[in-house]
Structure 1
């Protein structure tokens, strides 16, 4: 199992969290399975940026972002070198520290 440390986020995860996940799981699926309701407006099809996260530690252990993900990331709010779309980033054997950005480009929050 791989550990994902989620840094505190005012509305989605106020106390932060530590998740244990199987390698191969996407960060988005790990968050959702642990009741952290990250937005995913395109139903995890890499067609939006609402599930954008910042991988503060362990970034290089993730699968490589493809061209479609890179194109979508260019539209994300608060883009950094450690940005990934959580629906595309698959966990490996290295523990991660993940920050959920304060904002998304969505004007209205969708509930799934």
Structure 2
């Protein structure tokens, strides 16, 4: 079972976390299921960038991003070559290290 190491984030995960997840899990859903309340304003439909994460290790094991995801990521705050929308990233067998960016383009937080 792969592990997701979540680097500390002042709001969502101050101490950081290590999550055990099933292969094939949606990254955003896995975070939410482990009480890491990452923003997801479009309800995981690949229509915004509020669930943007930076995959520091293990990115090559994720499914390939689509053109639609890549186009949306162009609007994400703090975009890097390792950026993904967590709602579109599917966990494979490799462990991951992810960072949740400090900011998102969302002006108001969603209440989920």
TM-score range, shorter chain: over 0.9
Whether 1:4 aligns to 2:20 is no
> CA–CA distance in 2 between the matches of 1:37 and 1:81?
24
What is the SS of the residue equivalent to 1:89?
A: coil
Q: Which residue of 1 aligns with 2:107?
A: 107
What is the SS of the residue equivalent to 2:70?
A: helix
Q: Which residue of 1 aligns with 2:14?
A: 14
**Structure 1 stretches of at least 4 aligned residues deviating more than 6 Å after TM superposition:** none
Q: Which residue of 2 aligns with 1:64?
A: 64
Summarize deviations over 1:11-67 as a string: whole Å, max 9, x none. 100000000000111110110000000000000000000000000000000000001
Q: Which residue of 2 aligns with 1:95?
A: 95
What is the SS of the residue equivalent to 1:28?
A: helix
Superposition RMSD in Å: 0.4
Unmatched segments (≥5 aa) in structure 2:
none
Aligned residues: 112
> CA–CA distance in 2 between the matches of 1:52 and 1:26?
13
| TM-score under structure 1 length normalisation | 0.99
Q: Which residue of 2 aligns with 1:39?
A: 39
Unmatched segments (≥5 aa) in structure 1:
none
Alpha-carbon offset, residue 111 of structure 1? 1.2
Alpha-carbon offset, residue 100 of structure 1? 0.4
| TM-score under structure 2 length normalisation | 0.99
